[in-house]
Amino acid sequence: MALPTVASVLSGIASYPTVYYDRKAVKFLRNNLHLYDCIETKPMPDKSGVAMQIFGYTKMAANTTAATDGTPQTGGQTLAASTGTITLAQYVDYVTYSDKVILTGISPVVEEGSELLAYRGALTVDVLISAAVDTASAAASTATQIDIADGSYMTAAIARKAAFKLRADDVKPKSDTGLFRGVMSALLAFDLVNDANAGGYQDAYRFIDPKTLQTGVEVTSQRIAVMGGAEWFESNSLPVVANFQSAAINGYRAYLFGQDAFFGASLGKTQLGQKNFSVATKMYDGTNSLDPGGVIRAASVYNFYFGVSKRPQGVNAFKRITCESSIG
C-alpha cells in the first residue's frame, strides 16, 4: 500500500488559531520626572479658595555708620516684604472600561489603564512646572539664563557655572541634601558624561566605580552627577527649543534650583510626584440611570488641584541652561 505524501488536514482549517496574544502588555516607555522634586510644596487647606499668598522679606544692607557716643539713633530700620500668589487650577482626566473588555480581555486592562493615566497626571505636573520656570526666566533673562553658543556642548564647567552663579546670589542649596538640584535632557547628559576636558566630568569621576562612568547615570534614581555642589538628574520631559542659535539646530534645556526657588501647592495633602501620583479606580454595578445596561463597569480617574509660583523676593533662586547637543 502506498504511503500518503501530503497530510490531509492542514493549518488552513477554519478552526486553526492564526494569532496568539501574549497576555502581558509590553511595558510602555515613560520619561523620568524630576521637576516636582525640585520645588517646595505648601498644601492648601480645604475650604480656603484657590489662591495662596506667600511672602518673604528683602535682605538688609550693611550698617557702615558708627554710632555717636551717648546719642540715641533716630529711627529704626523698616522691613521690606514682597508677596506672591500661587493660584490652583483643577486637572481632571479619566479612562472608562466596558463590561465586555473587563470580562473577556486577556490582560488586566483596568490596572494597565490606571498606570498609564497616573503617568499622564504626573507628566502634567512636570510640564506645568517647566512652563512656570520658563515664564519666570523670560522675565529675568539676564539673571537666570545661560545660553551656550552654537557649536558648543554641555560640560562640567557649565554645570559648575550655574551652581556658583546661584551661590553668588546668596541662594542656599536644598535643605534635605545640602546640594542644588538640577534636571537636564538626556542629550545634554550625553555630552556632560563625555566631557574629557581637564577638570571635566571624566576627570572628576576618574576614581569612582567604573560602572557608574560607563552608564553615566545611577540606575535607581537617574542621577547623572554631583559636581560643584549640585546634583543633576536626567529627564526628557523638558522643553526643546527649535532653531536655537542657528537654523535646524535644537536647543535642550537644563534647570538648576536652590532652596525655595519655586513653590507648588495642591489641595489638602495630595502628593503629585511621579512615584506616588494616585489614580482612583471606580467600579460600577449597572445601577446608574445614565447607563442602565451596565455596559461601563469601571473607570480610572484623577482629579487634583495644583499651582506653582516663583519665590516672592526679587532674587531668582534658579538658573536655566539652553544648549545644543552633539547627538541631538
Question: Quick one: cell of 190?
Answer: 550625553
Residues of the domain holding 238: 35-53+82-285+296-323
pLDDT tens-digit readout, 233-256: 999 999 999 999 999 999 999 999
Find out whether 305 and 259 touch, Cβ atoms under 8 Å: no
Domain membership of residue 64 (yes or no) is no
In 3D space, the residue among 304, 266, 274, 261 whose CA is nearest the CA of residue 41 turns out to be 266
**302 located within any domain:** yes
Asked whether the predicted pLDDT for residue 66 surpasses 60, the reply is yes
Question: What pLDDT is attached to residue 211?
Answer: 57
Phi-psi bin for 229: left (phi > 0), alpha (psi -120 to 50), beta? Answer: left
Indicate which CATH number applies to the domain containing 103.
3.90.1690
User: 0.85 cut: is pTM over it?
Assistant: yes
Within-domain flag for 4: no
DSSP run (H or E) holding 276: none
Residue 156 lies in a domain: yes
Is 305 inside a domain boundary? yes
Pairing of strands 296-310, 262-266: antiparallel
In this predicted structure, what is the pLDDT of residue 256? 98
According to the model, what pLDDT value does residue 28 have? 58
At 101-139, the pLDDT tens digits run 999 988 889 999 998 998 898 899 999 999 999 999 999
pLDDT tens for 143-187 read 999 999 999 999 999 999 999 999 999 999 999 999 999 999 999
Report which DSSP code applies to 267: B
Q: How many CA atoms are closer than 13 Å to the CA of 217, on its beta-carbon side?
A: 20
Q: Is 140 exposed, middle or buried (0-12, 13-18, 19+ CB in 10 A)?
A: middle
Count of structural domains, the chain: 1
Residue 23 lies in a domain: no
Contacts of 105 (CB under 8 A, 6+ apart): none
b/e 10-24 (16+ beta carbons within 10 angstroms → b) = eeeeeeeeeeeeeee
Q: Which residues contact 74 (CB under 8 A, 6 or more apart)?
A: none
Supply the pLDDT for residue 246. 92
